[in-house]
Structure 1
Amino acid sequence: MENPLAPLLAPPADPADVRILEAAVAQFALIGIRRTSADDIARRSGVNRTTLYRRMGTKEEIVRAAMAHEVRKVLAEIEARLAGIDDPLERQLHGFGVTVTTLRGNPLLRQLLAVDRDETLVWLTLDAGAAIEIATAYVVGMVTELRTALGLPDTPPAEVVAATIVRLVHSLVLTPDGSPRLPDDRSLREFAATVICPLIGVPLDRSAGRADQ
């Protein structure tokens, strides 16, 4: 089944746009989102302010695009860490823990929270819609792959299940000290086996049996 959200995963096609987004991310990490100006991004990316606005729009639009770009890079990192796992159920069990730990340890996220915590939290919560949509597109692919391999029906729809998983990961990353506390790989894998996989439609006895592997 084709993933209807797949286009969201595609990076900008123009190298100049990629260069601008990379420059924006680097500048945010240096002094924070609030203190970064359009001139800072233009100067760092080697374009003038007029070109920046023409290609990217307002600063708000630049921030949104830069955050989306970073989400795609993180997803590519996660996919690379799962590349050697062929079994779809194992990819799901291991992938949940890899996703949470990768995001919790993301250097950019840590740096942004250190230099501009308040503004970063706004972009990670109130303005995180685009990032959540991109992450959902990725998880739709994993859910669909697992359901197809195990002959499971697409109910609830993969998009609904994937969005729920993404929302849960989002919360676990931003509030690691709240319940459920999942501080290590073992607890994350067990949670994936007993909560995430049944949400997808995998029988509990099938997924829980792999929790300790």
Structure 2
Amino acid sequence: MTDGVLAEALGAGAGAVDPGDQVVARILDAAREEFARFGVRRSSIDDIAKRAGLSRNTVFRRLGSKDELVNAVLLRELRGLIAEVDEVTAHGGSGTERLAQAFGVTVLRVRGNPMFAGALGHRRDEVLEYAAVEAGQLLRIAVRYVTELLERDQRRGEMDDRIDVAGAAEVIVRTLHSVVLTPHAGRRLHTEEELRAFATEHLAPLLYQR
């Protein structure tokens, strides 16, 4: 499901970056490390090229501008996260159980991501600005992905076919977005058990009959 969601969400440009290209992988690895250590604003193409052991021109030829490089890094991170959620939700259980597992895994993986964790710890303003203003594309991809998961449950008869799955998916993604960014507001939501319980109690009832 991962590649299909990304390709559809990104349109014709989805295949522009080949994740199997070893030079591209070196650039993305170097960029990820730079962003995690110094933040996006303080990381330059020259720094990334030096860390990758490549020329500045090679980085530009393979991935384009800095903005395009940032997007490529974030999309690779998202690709990995979606693949992990695919794995979690493929092992059966009820819709409620799958939703709770996916919710817990997603929040903890994003919080634990080196780029996010490093930036949140030392450059919180940068993270919050990106999350509030620039994260629309990633959130749209996430909504499309969750919509596909819910549509699958609807086809299986696990969910009332009158439910607006696209709207429900947006509620789930916006809740994830909020919980990731503000873990200390109100109820404690730090461990996977706490996150699963939250999703079971407050999100699952919107979709599944107990």
Correspondences of 1:115-194 after superposition (within 5 Å): 115-149=122-156, 150=158, 152-153=160-161, 155-156=163-164, 158-194=165-201
TM-score by length of 1: 0.77
Does structure 1 retain, via aligned residues, the 8 Å contact 2:63–2:69? yes
TM-score normalised by structure 2 residue count: 0.78
Aligned residue for 2:50?
43
Cα displacement (A) at 1:111: 1.6
User: Counterpart amino acid of 1:65?
Assistant: A
Aligned residue runs from structure 1 range 7-156, under 5 A: 7=7, 8=9, 12-14=17-19, 15=21, 16-80=23-87, 82=88, 85-89=91-95, 90-149=97-156, 150=158, 152-153=160-161, 155-156=163-164
How far does residue 185 in structure 1 lie from its aligned partner after superposition?
3.8
Unaligned runs of 5+ in 1: 207-213
Which is helix-richer, 1 or 2? Answer: 2
Q: Which amino acid aligns with 1:174?
A: L
Deviation at 1:105, TM superposition (A): 2.8
Unaligned regions of 5+ residues in structure 2, if any? none
CA-to-partner distance for each residue in 1:66-109, whole Å, 9 max, x for gaps?
Answer: 122222223333444x1662125121222222222332333332
Question: Does the CA contact (< 8 Å) of 1:94 and 1:189 recur in 2?
Answer: yes
Deviates more, 1:66-75 or 1:5-14: 5-14
Aligned residues: 199
